[in-house]
Amino acid sequence: MLRNSLKFSLVDKEKLKDSREKILKEIESGEIGYFHLSKIAKDTILQTREFVQKHKFKNLVVVGMGGSSLGVKAVVGLLEENYPNSPKIYFLDNLDSYSCKKVLDNIVFKDTLFIISSKTGTTIETISIFKYIVAKFSVLNLGENFIFITDKDSSLEKFGKECGVEIFHIPQNVGGRFSVFSAVGLVPFEMMGFDTLALIKGEEACKSDFLKDDFILQKAYHYATHRNAKINVVFSYLDKFESFNQWYVQLWAESLGKKKIYERVGLTPVGLIGSRDQHSFLQLIMDGIKDKTVTFLSVKASKNSEKIPNLKFAYMGSCDFVNGMGIDEVLNYQAQATMQAVVNEGVSVDSLEFDTLDEWHVGYLLSYYELLTSAVGAILGINTYDQPGVEIGKRILKNIILKG
């Protein structure tokens, strides 16, 4: 179960009609492919299972930037605790020589599968790290320890085919940051032993709720049209949401920061972790400029949560009121208390509470955020799926380096 409570006034259904129609048009035209990924998920899963039957690896290294790794990292972060015997998974998602060296120095090449993930197949960071790996291990036969996840007919696919590398495809109409339910995510998730079919079922459940219900559109409408609050804070209570927060920041920022002829629009995403950031960013939410909306994410405390021991230290009696309680139980009370404090300040708040974090719920959560992003984009009247601003920097980089 997942509960989404919207703690602000809802608008009349009529106000949501245009944006609902715009999204339905995007879906039905097939122009935007992420909505249809569950239809091809089984093929990708089967291809991966066949590969896994023939190849066993102790380590997986995902090489990819932005949408080609962040969604994978998010799901792995949320689920890996349930899979202690899975292969170890590493991410090389930054052109940082220390990070690359640290990962590669600590793995045995023959036990490792490198997943080179790039939709375009020409992202400079991804391909440079790929070259670094090939040179570092003096790889002669790429087909043994590498797979490529890319678009059909990309340069990476053409190169891979010549080298005997197994290729997994991303559909052309699925953008990077909306690709977590394509081969980009499903291939590593299968290799980790996750229940990918349950993940897809969760994703489908969210889409079907979206089609019959207005809760995502109501939230999108409130946050997109808020007069003063152009910042959305996701306050996630558990460390395992750290990478999910990063994915949300990318999805929201790259999709929603756009120029509309002479106007600039966008909602700024901020990802926080509770209770840590209660001792930091919360002060700004409580007493700073009222330019934020806040979403609280929490998971029902497990009965297996470690406990706070019933120890009474001299002079520290004021800390004894939580003695004997589960650590996660206290964390959830903190989420509740903080939410109440923020609501009392008149800030727009909503909360997403999960009974548990299994594949179904994780699939639901990521789909919820994809649809929410599409809905906010539709209400803002922008193209949610391109990223022209990011492309400019890439062109300048080439000019700077080639000119010397």
Residues contributing to the site for ligand PA5 (CB under 6 A): 65-68, 118-120, 123, 126, 175-177, 254, 387
C-alpha of 387 from chain center: 17
Q: Which of residues 50 and 386 has its CB atom nearest to ligand PA5 in the complex?
A: 386
Q: Which of residues 65 and 191 has its CB atom nearest to ligand PA5 in the complex?
A: 65
Please list the residues that pair with 115 across neighbouring strands.
62, 147
Look at residues 225, 283, 242, 199 and name the one whose alpha carbon lies nearest to residue 9: 225
Angle, helices 38-54/183-191, rounded to nearest 10 degrees = 40
Q: Which of residues 38 and 118 has its CB atom nearest to ligand PA5 in the complex?
A: 118
Element (H, E) at 47: helix 38-54
∠ CA 343-373-289, rounded to 5°? 35
Q: Which of residues 172 and 356 has its CB atom nearest to ligand PA5 in the complex?
A: 172
Element (H, E) at 277: none
CA distance to 245, 261, 265, per residue, from 68 (Å): 16, 29, 25
Among residues 279, 303, 306, 403, the one annotated as catalytic is 279
Q: Which of residues 17 and 394 has its CB atom nearest to ligand PA5 in the complex?
A: 394
Residues 136-161, buried b or exposed e (16+ Cβ, 10 A)?
ebebeebeebbbbbbbeebebbebbe
CB of 348 to ligand PA5, least distance (A): 27
State the Cα–Cα distance between residues 13 and 215, nearest whole angstrom. Answer: 11
Query: Which residues, 6+ apart, have CB-to-CB distance to 292 below 8 Å?
Result: 229, 231, 232, 233, 270, 285, 347
Residue 394: active-site member: yes
State the Cα–Cα distance between residues 335 and 337, nearest whole angstrom. Answer: 6
Q: Which of residues 28 and 386 has its CB atom nearest to ligand PA5 in the complex?
A: 386
CB of 60 to ligand PA5, least distance (A): 18
DSSP state of 266: -
CB of 100 to ligand PA5, least distance (A): 16
CB of 250 to ligand PA5, least distance (A): 6
State the Cα–Cα distance between residues 330 and 336, nearest whole angstrom. Answer: 10
Among residues 58, 131, 394, 398, the one annotated as catalytic is 394
CB of 154 to ligand PA5, least distance (A): 8
CB of 71 to ligand PA5, least distance (A): 9
Residue 279: active-site member: yes
The SS3 of residue 251 is helix
Residues annotated as catalytic are 254, 279, 394
